[in-house]
Amino acid sequence: MTPARLDITQPETWPNRRVEDWRWTDVARVLREAPPPSPQASVEPGGPFAGLGGDELAVVNGRAPADARIIADGPGQVARLRFVSATDGTGHQARIIIEVKPGADLLLLESQEGAAAGYVANHILDIDVGAGGRLTRIVLAADAADALAFTRADVTMGGHAAFAQTVLTTGAKLQRIETRVSHPGKGASVRLDGLYLLSGERHADATSEVDHTGLDGQTSQLTKGVVRERGRGVFQGRIIVREGADGTDARMGHHALILGDRGEVDAKPELEIYADDVACAHGNTVGALDEMALFYLRSRGVPEAEARALLTEAFLGEALDRIEREDVREVCRAWLAERLSSPPPSSGAERGRGTTRRVVEGAAQSAAPDLAPSTASRSPSPAGGGGEER
Amino acid sequence: MAATQKTVDTVKELERYKHGFTTQVEQEFSPVGLDEGTVRFISAKKGEPEWMLEWRLAAFQRWLAMDEPTWAKVDYVPADYQALHYYAAPKTREGPKSLDEVDPEILETYKKLGIPLREQEVLAGVQGAPKYAVDAVFDSVSVVTTFREELAKAGVIFCSFSEAVREHPELVRKYLGSVVPVSDNYFAALNSAVFSDGSFVYVPPGVRCPMELSTYFRINAENTGQFERTLIIADKGAYVSYLEGCTAPMRDENQLHAAVVELIALDDAEIKYSTVQNWYPGDPETGKGGIYNFVTKRADCRGDRSKVSWTQVETGSAVTWKYPSCLLKGEGSVGEFYSIAITNGRQQADTGTKMVHLGANTRSRIISKGVSAGRSSNTYRGLVSAHPKATGARNFTQCDSLLIGKSCAAHTVPYVEARNGSAQFEHEATTTRLSEDQLFYARQRGLSAEEATALLVNGFVREVLQELPMEFAVEAQKLVAISLEGSVG
């Protein structure tokens, strides 16, 4: 039973906190009316993963080329998927299809780039990993502090397929990165990792659901979070083992540090089990930095601020250690280190304003009806059209 | 496959619910259905003062405006609230003064259940056996309360709720509804409107209650709901340990039990509340009948350094919806929750706790052991939260589930809400089936599959069993084995 998808043009799809799955991420409270649709825009090729090669697919303001699909049909393929929000105070959504053919192997390097302020972004990925296929998805989410950003990936896996994911995020005014995995096939293996580092009043929600319906499924989840100042981290993880999904081995961990006095962490690690030949476990901890470790470092001559930074980095870094490819791991480490040393400005307004203005003017009104429900019947423009309807 | 066959055989012969008999006693009922008249009827029956009636009527109005909650992982046909008797009482002369005046049938019932209503019977046991006082609630009314004089000497008030309303109105008015407000939830509002009896305990400052107190609830009459209300107040520096037991006859239709328990612990006080719940679970094959156990239990650790400890062994009921909770308001107050929930047949349980940390340096500990067998469903649902002012709050939660059989379900739904940087919360949960290795080991030492399972399950729940008062621990241990009979897989 897959819950309905959020559609920013349809207020009746905006959940409030009375919807159990959204109790800590109240969309209806902050999104009062449908935002004006984002205009067409473009970006220079690049993005945080530029150095790692692979084909680039840039989805700017919700617009992707008409044939926006990523299909992997062989070993060792790399794709860079960039979701760029480039216009202040507007909204956009897009849906991308990703297909890993049986036996193929894809490294999906995804970035959420907030190059404007106050936008509303809603990105949906429909991912299919064929039998024996492998998908590694790495997400770097750098949204603006006053943005609302929702990403949802629905993943279906074939027999003996493997899916590994690591999400790094600094949150937004309200941000949710949701992953739903189901594997009807036998022997699928899933790794779902994440880390969040939240300052100011940023909010990040990591929600996941792994539905084990096939035999001998394996799931390993590790999410680490650090909340500074008045940030709020939300972790919701649900592991379902259906009747007959014997031999499932699922482990889930969520560990968070609250470093600011007004920070908040809400967690709900759920196990829903209908089969008996299983081993499932979850662990969840929330607390402050270990005073003993801090004392030890200081006794070795490390200044307090540095000791704190070191411990925080080590704490979060654990989630990155599980990334297999070294070059990818290094990019993620550098991304994290940069944000640990200088927290992102509490307002995203300064960032990308220069480029945004030009883009708005250039795009004019032509793309304005993009988000109207009737999108499907409209002929796609060369740079737009993609799949912004749900 | 011999073991499998044996399992099937034992399943068949199992589930003789030992407390399923009914008692033939002349009773008087309120008319079927629920309206303002029913509330007035109950209040008049109990000769209550005006303020109590008004409180009930207000609760009834709130209840009318509420909806039955549906968020729990339980699936049942809602009770028909207009088809129940809200009051059923054995016909007796006005307030029996001594046991000799209580209907012998009722005395016989308690004898069958092994509940000592005669004080000398308690003492007749092994020398040095601890005494415990009993308040016996039969359907809607309390039939007898033992050891009252001895308790009175210590200043402890232990009586039925109706009596407390008459004799200690100042205490009842001060504390009733102060922990579970009337509109707290659907079932609490219903209870507030129609509760008939229950137990009342007040332990004065500095007094350590000289014996265990206990209430034994028995639902007997057909088509009745039992709505009891328990209020326990431990004044500054007081200590009390309270036990609660429950059974009901086997009946094909569902019976409703919607109780409210409020505990209040003032500075340095400690309350230990233990429950062994063994309501009729319904037919294991068809799921017909059984008790709906929709209970609101909450403790208010109002005082600094106060402590409340909940221990529950839940083996009965068709549907359980129950979350004994602690509001940790006082500085340095402590809440504990130890639970064993066993479901078999077609039982459904959604149970757990809430630890709400409001004061500084409050601590809580949750140990929950769920065992599901047959075609049952067993959910742990818990909340641990820390308010921004609850600096230094600490919680440790462990919830383990054990699955016995292919068709049962076990769920874990913990909620953690930490709103300050110095709170430290740890939670761990596991779900597994009985270890084949351990079973094999026990069997090659000569134990039968059944004995081996009982041994392993008892080991699994031991951490909680040892928190029970001694008299209960023995009963509970037997109950664990009985509840699981025939579930070996």
Chain A residues whose beta carbon lies within 8 Å of the beta carbon of residue B409: 272-274
Closest chain B C-alpha to A95 CA, distance in angstroms: 31
CB B409 to CB A279 under 8 A? no
CB B430 to CB A281 under 8 A? yes
Interface residue B392 vs chain A (CB under 8 A): no
Closest chain A C-alpha to B422 CA, distance in angstroms: 6
Interface residue A20 vs chain B (CB under 8 A): yes
Position A388 in a domain:
no
Interface test with chain B among A286, A290, A292, A312, by most B beta carbons within 10 Å? A286
| pLDDT tops 70 at residue A369 | no
Closest chain A C-alpha to B332 CA, distance in angstroms: 18
Interface residue A201 vs chain B (CB under 8 A): no
Position A224 in a domain:
yes
Chain B residues whose beta carbon lies within 8 Å of the beta carbon of residue A285: 424-427
A76-108: pLDDT as tens digits: 999 999 999 999 999 999 999 999 999 999 999
Interface residue B406 vs chain A (CB under 8 A): yes
Position A113 in a domain:
yes
A295-305: pLDDT as tens digits: 999 999 999 98
A171-204: pLDDT as tens digits: 999 999 999 999 888 999 999 999 999 999 999 9
Position A296 in a domain:
yes
Position A198 in a domain:
yes
Position A376 in a domain:
no
* Sequence-separated (6 or more) residues with CB below 8 Å from residue A342: none
Output the DSSP codes for B305-363: T-EEEEEEEE---SEEEE--EEEE-STT-EEEEEEEEEE-TT-EEEE--EEEE-STT-E
Q: Which residue segment(s) compose the domain that A103 sits in?
A: 11-366
Chain A residues whose beta carbon lies within 8 Å of the beta carbon of residue B433: 276-278
- Total structural domains in chain A? 1
CB A258 to CB B418 under 8 A? yes
CB B412 to CB A282 under 8 A? yes
A281-296: pLDDT as tens digits: 999 999 998 889 999 9
Rounded-to-integer distance, Cα A81 and Cα A109, Å:
6
Position A374 in a domain:
no
Q: Which helix (H) or strand (E) holds B463?
A: helix B449-465
Interface residue A290 vs chain B (CB under 8 A): no
Global pTM value: 0.85
| pLDDT tops 90 at residue A230 | yes
Among chain B residues, CA nearest to A270: B413
Closest chain B C-alpha to A57 CA, distance in angstroms: 39
Residue of B461, B466, B275 whose CA lies nearest to B369: B461
B 288-347: CB under 8 A from A: none
Position A6 in a domain:
no
pLDDT of amino acid A124: 94
* Sequence-separated (6 or more) residues with CB below 8 Å from residue B242: B201, B212, B213, B214, B215, B232, B271, B272, B273, B274
Q: Could you read off the pLDDT tens digit of each residue along chain B, which spans 489 residues?
A: 444 455 444 444 444 566 766 766 667 777 788 888 889 988 988 888 999 999 999 999 999 999 988 888 888 888 888 888 888 776 654 444 556 666 677 667 666 666 666 554 544 434 444 556 677 777 666 666 777 788 888 899 988 888 899 999 999 999 999 999 988 999 999 999 998 888 899 999 999 998 888 887 777 666 677 888 999 999 999 999 998 876 666 666 677 888 999 999 999 999 999 888 887 888 878 878 888 889 999 999 999 999 999 999 888 888 999 999 999 999 999 999 999 998 988 899 999 999 999 999 999 999 999 999 889 999 999 999 999 999 999 999 999 999 988 889 999 999 999 998 889 999 999 998 888 899 899 999 999 888 888 888 888 888 888 887 776 777 777 777 777 766 654
